[in-house]
């Protein structure tokens, strides 16, 4: 089975369309979407429409909850809060209903999908350091060999060898997974990468070859930026796209 896994689209239609086009070449059978479909970008409804057409395997992110009043934006920084309010005002009724109904986690075969962290799917902690990731492994259900996450907008592959009790951060973004290990993989962000690479990120996972790839694709950043500025969203949200921060 070939999985296409995407996260943190954040209303960036240009990035999302480029990712969808790239995924068309990948013989994907199942698409998983890890949340934060909206927030920051100027096309929340359009991105939601694309996700709805693409797959029913979708979970909610903190920005999806904020946009429908399920999460208090007091926990957001000024820019994120402003974007959440803008999104709240611009979502269609159908979009609001759709976001409200999304679950926080999803299982597909031996894969667990969660936006932030498996121990606290409703608290949205950031998994950044190796130590933070390592404590998540015991929380995974026994038959879960791969947990896919988003939220930090920074891609990364973490491997747990249970027999040796060793957790490590894999260097690089193409990895031949080992059958005796378990993994937590951050698939990066489609619409607002923050790892210094402005290209949109997505993940392809093949259960037969056990190959996991986090890929990147360029997109029309300038158009996405212009839309953000024209919409009256903070200019900084447009500027950061160019730097991947």
Q: CB-side exposure of 18: number of CA atoms within 13 Å?
A: 22
Nearer to Zn ion, 65 or 182 (CB): 65
Q: How far is the CB of 41 from Zn ion (least distance, A)?
A: 11
Closest by CA position to 18, among listed 190, 156, 151: 190
Q: How far is the CB of 151 from Zn ion (least distance, A)?
A: 6
Say how far apart CA 97 and CA 109 lie, in whole Å. 27
Angle (CA) 31-168-59 rounded to 5° is 25
When CB distances to Zn ion are compared, the closest residue is 36
Nearer to Zn ion, 8 or 195 (CB): 8
In contact, 195 and 155? CB cutoff 8 Å: yes
Report the nearest approach of Zn ion to the CB of residue 106 (Å).
17
Point out which residues bind Zn ion (CB under 5 A): 8, 36
Cβ proximity to Zn ion: between 8 and 14 the closer is: 8
Other beta carbons less than 10 A from residue 104's beta carbon: 17
Q: What is the three-class DSSP state of 16?
A: helix
The least CB distance from residue 36 to Zn ion, in Å, is 4
Cβ distance to Zn ion smaller for residue 84 or 181: 84
């Amino acid at each position: 089975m070939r999985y296409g896994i995407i996260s943190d689209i954040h209303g960036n239609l240009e990035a999302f369309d480029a990712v969808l086009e790239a995924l068309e070449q990948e013989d994907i059978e199942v698409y998983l979407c890890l949340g934060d479909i909206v927030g920051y970008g100027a096309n929340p409804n359009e991105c939601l429409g694309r996700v709805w057409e693409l797959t029913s395997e979708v979970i909610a992110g903190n920005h999806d909850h904020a946009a429908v009043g399920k999460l208090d934006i007091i926990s957001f920084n000024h820019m994120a809060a402003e974007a959440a309010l803008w999104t709240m005002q611009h979502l269609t009724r159908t979009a609001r209903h759709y976001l409200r109904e999304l679950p926080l986690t999803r299982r597909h075969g031996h894969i667990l999908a969660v936006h932030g962290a498996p121990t606290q799917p409703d608290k949205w902690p950031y998994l950044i350091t190796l130590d933070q990731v390592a404590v998540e492994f015991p929380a995974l259900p026994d038959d879960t060999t791969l947990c896919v996450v988003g939220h930090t907008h920074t891609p990364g592959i973490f491997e747990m060898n249970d027999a040796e009790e060793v957790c490590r951060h894999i260097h690089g973004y193409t990895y031949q997974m080992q059958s005796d290990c378990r993994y937590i993989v951050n698939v990066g962000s489609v619409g607002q990468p923050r790892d210094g690479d402005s290209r949109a990120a997505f993940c392809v996972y093949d259960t037969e070859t056990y190959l996991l790839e986090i890929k990147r694709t360029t997109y029309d950043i300038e158009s996405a930026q212009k839309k953000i500025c024209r919409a009256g969203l903070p200019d900084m949200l447009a500027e950061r796209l160019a730097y991947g921060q």
